[in-house]
Chain A
Amino acid sequence: MARNYAMKDTFAENRIFLSRVVIVFVLIIFLVISLLVRLVYLQIVGHEQYSTMAKSNRVKITPLPPTRGIIYDRHGRVLAENLPSYSLEIIPEQVKDLDNTLFKLKQLFDISDEKIKRFLKYKKRGKRFSSIPLLSQLTDEEVAKFAVVRPYYPGVDVHARLVRHYPYKELTAHVVGYVGRINEKELKTLPVSEYQGTQYIGKIGIEKAYETQLHGKKGFAEIEVNVQSRGIKTIFSMEPVPGASLYLTLDIDLQKTAFDALEGYNGAVVAIEINTGDVLVFANRPEFDPNSFVGGISTKEYKLLQESDDQPLFDRALRGQYPPGSTIKPFVGLAGLEYGVTKFRDKLHCPGYYQLPNLKHKYRDWKKRGHGKVDLNRAITESCDVYFYDLARTLGIDKIHDFLYQFGFGQKTGIDLAGERAGLLPSQTWKRKVKKERWYLGETLISGIGQGFMQVTPVQLARATATLANRGKIVTPYLVDRIINMNYTSAGPGQPNQQIELKSKNTDDIISAMVNVVHGAGGTARRLQAGINYKIAGKTGTAQVFTVKQEEKYNEDEIKFKLRDHALFMSFAPANDPKIAVAVIVENGGHGGSVAAPIAGKVMKQFLMSNEDVAVAN
């Protein structure tokens, strides 16, 4: 087909073409070499770097949070457990248009604005690429509903999580406590790596005090993920070590008895097994449902609890500080005997008031007509104030302080809960140091009947009672009996081998007076003796309420109620072989004998009547 035009020089064209082909081929070789140079750069020089990048692309290291330990009562009944629950969670970094996604989800599920607000708050606080819950406790239908549309919502997923649940609800709210989402403050102090993937932390009670043991050890998994960060398969995993299970000393039945008996009042009951220090009852009123804190309590609900005058969130048993009133009298009496300033049978005339020499002020007895001739036995049985004004005056505040201090007043009991308060045991030194004032004699007198500066917590009072019942052998209350780990069991703290130096005669005398409080003729808690086959030693108390906050509402009935005295009762039983010590404080309960004592009576009755050994012993 070669068309030969006259002007065409085929050979010249051929030559040019050949030279151009050679040039092109050289150029191609050159370009191929440049590609190879680049490939060598990527695949040899940069290999390590790109390998790492490919790995981190592909493998996400996910922390595996441990399962929180279960909490049981002394008989193995579950007080805190983990229940599976589905929650809808979002990883904000993986969502292209968060607002739009939230909007669309809102059409799918019933999501309140408050939940959105809370989600945004958690989001702000959360680590990057962490899964932030939007809805919790999804129903099966909701889970199914989302499963259908899941592919259209990258970054949004349903997670099965274990959610803490407290089957006894209000009954154990303060003592077992509750868990809640980790807040910013906690985040700063927590061991960060251990808490990766953990969302909840113990906030109060046992949950807080035993956080480390309950939490367990974090594991992790290397998970191969796709571009949407959805897991494809697990390459390697290190299983978490679940948190230890705790067996408490608490007896939930007894706790319920105390709790029910307290109904209608604000107050606390603490019962301690004397031989062991086991805390059998640690009850508080008013109550709240700890479960509502787990899923994230609503601001409104929380505000309601927080601002209530009754302060339901307040752990009275541990942190409530009350004037002990007459419940202090057995200890002050014992101090008098031990220091030898009085004898058990020494009598004193009670005209219904007490006066210091050269002073007009009358320190009144609760019984206006007076008790007449009283010895220490009657002074305790009938709770004569005048006797103790006099005894306190003779002892002096520092001796009272020093003696009562041995029983644990004015100091923390060391119970295994966080946030315990020490109460207040006044002394001259204390007043000078704290109040920058000298001590007045009048203050000594009212200290003798447990008023004035003196303050005790219910757990303190229970402990002092147990120690007295134990004849001076110190009892330290504790709540966790056994910590059961995967590999080992550890017992709770043992009892300290500490003995208060007491003459047994003095102790016997005081205890016999306390028995008379319940079983004696003029006893202030006589109603307790009905229907029991053992003897109770106890002491009633009625503490004056000094302060009414000025800003409180002007509801007249309310104020009157608030001004009513706190009712107290401390007791142990059986008197001859003490097993259980109970302290009861009922705020504004009025008289200790009528309100507080029956509550303690019920607890002791239930404990002792179901205890075969005691029945035999008596």
Chain B
Amino acid sequence: MQTEIRDEQFHTPSVIGTLLRKLHIDIPLFAGIVLLCSLSFVILYSAGGQDIAILMRQATRIAIAFVFMIFLAHINPRHFYRHSAKLYGLGVLLLVAVLVVGLTGKGAQRWLNLGFVRFQPSEMIKITTPMMIAWYLSNHALPPNAKQLFIAFLLIIVPTLLIAKQPDLGTSLLVASSGAAVLFFAGLSWRFIGVTVAVLASLTPVLWHFMREYQRNRVLTFLNPEADPMGKGYHIIQSKIAIGSGGVNGKGWLGSTQAKLEFLPESSTDFIFAVYAEEFGLLGCVSLLMLYLLIIGRCLYIAVQAQDSYSRLLAGSLSLTFFVYIFVNIGMVIGILPVVGVPLPLISYGGTSMVTLLSGFGILMSIHTHRKFLPT
């Protein structure tokens, strides 16, 4: 006897509720996302210089991303499970293709021109890597043994290196962390975690050696932004000025002088949080972080409620990755992390990351709304 589980909200009879349920949409998650996207419009209007055209483009992207989300929410997680390996393989192939024929954008090869649309395979691999690891590990007893760990490690490291080679440090770190998150949720032993951290720490100098010039600059800049206020440290200093001058209450909507007068670079994309913080102050920042926390909480709840290892691991990883996004972006904007090209999820202007993020939420919704009641 299998019945679909209904959340509390689902008990309330309403037209919208019914519609959303039919669409396999998780209402709390959906509400949070809609709220964030609306906020994105509000901030973008100010950060983008009150340009309606920018809002229209962002609206188009959000619409496309929502289509992806709803589409994925409809697919039974069973299918994800079944196609994980194939999707992962496709992703890796595309990454190789990018390196071979990719177009150069902003000094790094990230884009693949599919004729009608430019596409970033590294975004797709952000989802297919945790899928692959979850698929692989869930096929075995958990926690994984040494051999499985090694294979999982290989599966993570291949796309990570391919993206790092583009070079796109931010995305490669996100991919690696999404894979690592699966391992962590799978029950990776604390001893192993400890050893890995130790090894990574000792490998830092080696990593430094392999880093590109601009990546090194970013790290150096992060360590001491004031050393070169007109050059490399400019982003961080201007960003800190924007945030700090916002104070507790902020300068009010459209009140950002830093962004409007072009002192703050990338104010619509990676550094949009600085504009938000300048205009809405500490109170606005706390509210935004709370909203993010609620969404992550809901995601983790979905993960906990998932009914099989694959879903759990994938849901857990997607939730954690979402947080990593937030933390890395805000951390970089407020100057506690080096500058890596990671947008502020659901707020920043930009297409591909929006699609990826909402695809992840679509998968989470799919996992949640396709649960079967399993009596203990």
**Selected contact of B243 from candidates A3, A39, A224, CB within 8 Å:** A39
Docked pose: A189 CA to B129 CA in angstroms: 73
Q: Mark A31-52, 1 if CB is under 8 A from B, else 0.
A: 1101110111011101101110
Task: Tell whether A1 is near chain B: CB-to-CB under 8 Å.
Answer: yes
A9-30: which have CB < 8 Å to B?
9, 12-13, 16-18, 20-21, 24-25, 28-29
Cβ proximity bits A513-546 to B, threshold 8 Å, 1 near / 0 not: 0000000000000000000000000000000000
Alpha-carbon separation in the docked complex, A265 to B282 (Å): 82
For A25, the closest partner residue in chain B by CB is B300
Assess whether A54 is in contact with B286, with CB atoms less than 8 Å apart. no
The answer to whether the Cβ of A8 comes within 8 Å of any Cβ in the partner chain is: yes
B141 close to A42 (CB less than 8 A): no
The residue in chain B whose Cβ has the minimal distance to the Cβ of A8 is: B141
Q: Verify A43–B248 contact, CB threshold 8 A.
A: yes
A60 to B285, CA, bound (A): 30
* In the assembled complex, B170 has its CB within 8 A of some CB on chain A: no
Q: A21-B303, A227-B262 are in contact. Are A43 and B244 (CB under 8 A)?
A: yes
Q: Does B363 contact A (CB under 8 A)?
A: no
User: Residue B282 contacts which of A34, A40, A49, A54 (CB distance < 8 angstroms)?
Assistant: A40
> CA A54 – CA B274 in complex, angstroms?
13
Neighbouring A residues of B300 by C-beta, 8 Å: 21, 24-25
CB-CB < 8 A to A17: which residues of B?
185-187, 303-304, 309, 312-313, 316
A1-B77, A54-B257 in contact; A21/B297 too (CB < 8 A)? no
Indicate if the CB atoms of A57 and B258 lie closer than 8 Å. yes
Report B109-147 CB contacts with A as 1/0, cut-off 8 Å: 000000000000000000000000000001111110000
Asked if residues A58 and B142 are in contact (CB atoms below 8 Å), the reply is no
Task: With a 10 A CB-CB cut-off, give which of A5, A24, A29 has the most chain B CB atoms.
Answer: A24
Q: In the complex, identify which listed stretch (B2-10, B203-211, B330-338) lies at the interface while the others stay far away.
A: B330-338
Which residues of B are found within 8 Å of A42, using beta-carbon distances?
A: 240, 243-244, 277, 334
Q: List the A residue with the shortest CB-CB distance to B306.
A: A17
- The minimal Cβ–Cβ distance linking A268 to chain B, given in whole angstroms, is 57
B244 contacts which of A5, A31, A35, A46 (Cβ < 8 Å)? A46
A232 to B282, CA, bound (A): 28
**Across-interface contacts of A225 in B (CB, < 8 A):** 261
Chain B residues contacting A548 (CB-CB under 8 Å) are none
| In the assembled complex, B154 has its CB within 8 A of some CB on chain A | no
Residues of chain B within 8 A (CB-CB) of A24 are 184-185, 300, 316, 319-320
Confirm or deny: B360 has a beta carbon within 8 angstroms of a beta carbon on chain A.
no
Does the CB pair B336–A34 fall under 8 Å? yes
Q: Which residues of A contact B184 (CB under 8 A)?
A: 20, 24
A616 is an interface residue with CB less than 8 A from chain B: no
Once the chains are docked, how many angstroms separate the CA of A162 from the CA of B271?
A: 44
Q: For residue A19, give the distance in angstroms from its CB to the closest CB of chain B.
A: 9
Q: Which residues from chain A contact B293 at a C-beta distance below 8 Å?
A: 28-29, 32
- Taking CB atoms and an 8 Å cut-off, the chain B residues in 277-323 that contact chain A are 277, 281-282, 285-286, 289, 292-293, 296-297, 300, 303-304, 307-310, 312-313, 316, 319-320, 323
Chain B, interface residues (CB within 8 Å), range? 35 or more
Interface of chain B, main secondary structure = helix
B241 at the interface (CB under 8 A from A): yes
Known: A1-B77, A43-B243, A43-B247. A25 touches B297 (CB 8 A): yes
Q: Which among A8, A39, A227, A232 is the interface contact of B142 at CB below 8 angstroms? A: A8
Residues of B within 8 Å of A51, CB to CB, are: 244-245, 247
Known: A9-B141, A21-B300, A40-B282. A1 touches B308 (CB 8 A): yes
Q: Are B243 and A50 in contact (CB under 8 A)?
A: yes
> How far, in angstroms, from A588 to B119 measured CA to CA in the complex?
93
Name the interface size band of chain A: 35 or more
Residues of A within 8 A of B289 (CB): 32, 35-36
Chain A: CB-nearest residue to B289: A32
Do residues A21 and B261 form an inter-chain contact, with CB atoms below 8 A?
Answer: no
Q: Could you say which residues of chain B place their CB within 8 Å of the CB of A7?
A: 140-141
Contact with A along B226-259 (1 / 0, CB 8 A): 0000000000001011111111100000000110
A224 to B260, CA, bound (A): 11
- A residues less than 8 Å from B334 (CB atoms): 35, 38-39, 42
Q: Is A53 an interface residue (CB 8 A)?
A: yes
With a CB–CB cut-off of 8 A, which chain A residues contact B45?
none
Contact present for B309 and A13 (CB under 8 Å): yes
Task: Indicate if the CB atoms of B245 and A47 lie closer than 8 Å.
Answer: yes
7 closest cross-chain pairs (CB), A and B: A50-B244, A54-B245, A16-B187, A227-B262, A7-B141, A2-B308, A43-B282
Cross-chain pairs A/B with CB under 8 angstroms, 25 sampled: A1-B76, A3-B138, A16-B186, A17-B186, A17-B316, A21-B185, A21-B303, A21-B316, A25-B296, A25-B297, A31-B327, A39-B285, A39-B286, A43-B282, A44-B247, A47-B245, A47-B247, A47-B248, A53-B244, A53-B245, A55-B245, A57-B258, A58-B263, A224-B257, A226-B261
Binding site for A on B (CB under 8 A): 76-78, 81, 138-143, 184-187, 238, 240-248, 257-258, 261-263, 277, 281-282, 285-286, 289, 292-293, 296-297, 300, 303-304, 307-310, 312-313, 316, 319-320, 323, 327, 330-331, 334-336, 374
19 further A-B contacts with Cβ under 8 Å, apart from A35-B331, A53-B245, are A1-B310, A5-B140, A7-B141, A8-B141, A16-B186, A17-B303, A21-B316, A24-B185, A25-B297, A31-B327, A32-B293, A34-B336, A36-B286, A38-B335, A39-B243, A42-B244, A47-B247, A57-B258, A57-B261
